[in-house]
Structure 1
Amino acid sequence: MNKNVIFNLPVKDLEKSKAFFAALGFGFNPDFSNEQAACVVVLEGSIYAMLTTETFFKSLINKPVVQAREANEVVICLSCESREEVDSLIAKATAAGARIPHPPEDNGFMYDQGFEDLDGHLWNLVWMAPKG
């Protein structure tokens, strides 16, 4: 059975959020994008982030929308192929307007750092040493 991971994130300004993720090097699937949502391709064929306007996001749920700058329910963690990739994505995120909540953590076998996107959603980038 083929499974994809698709997560929805409410955003205040869809165009600014699209520009932010494009600056990090992510592509978009136009077949699942419109004026209310944009489908970010995190990993082709398996992982996608749907950036949705808050109005559209509210139509999908029957609870208040968490304001990610005030509270968080989830941290999105992406694995990277190297420490350099972590640092490169953090630099791109910073240049595109992200907030960096903490310095990099280097545990030798694991290296990570996170950023908050324009709406305050937390993204963590992690590299783990291959076993061997």
Structure 2
Amino acid sequence: MEPSLRMITLPVCNLKRALSFYEKALPFQPVKKTIQPDTTHVALKVKDGLGLVLMLRSEVSRIYGITEKANNSTILTMACESDEEVDAAFANVAATSAHFIHPLQRDEWSYSFVFSDPDGNLWEVIHIEHL
């Protein structure tokens, strides 16, 4: 497995305001041009396969189990090429003092787990089916 940092997730209070800011302040373009009323996150293309995800704080709280008041954290995401790479990373992380926020889980589009390092920094390790 060759580790690859592919996404950085920033918790935001107002998705439209955050998207407008990043489109104007930095040359990042959204992957999808329209935001639906129920949208909880937006992905922006940064460069060379790196993405910036702007995610509502309420959604960060729901997914990562962090109280809304405390979720100013940046979430770093390591993308894997296969479920087997996710499993191997899980085994490596499990052999350390990391704290698992979410154990291995599969949803409709990915296979992942989330952990915090000894200093509380959040990491997501994920294989996205169609990335």
> If the length of structure 2 is used for normalisation, what is the TM-score?
0.42
Query: Higher strand fraction: Structure 1 or Structure 2?
Result: 2
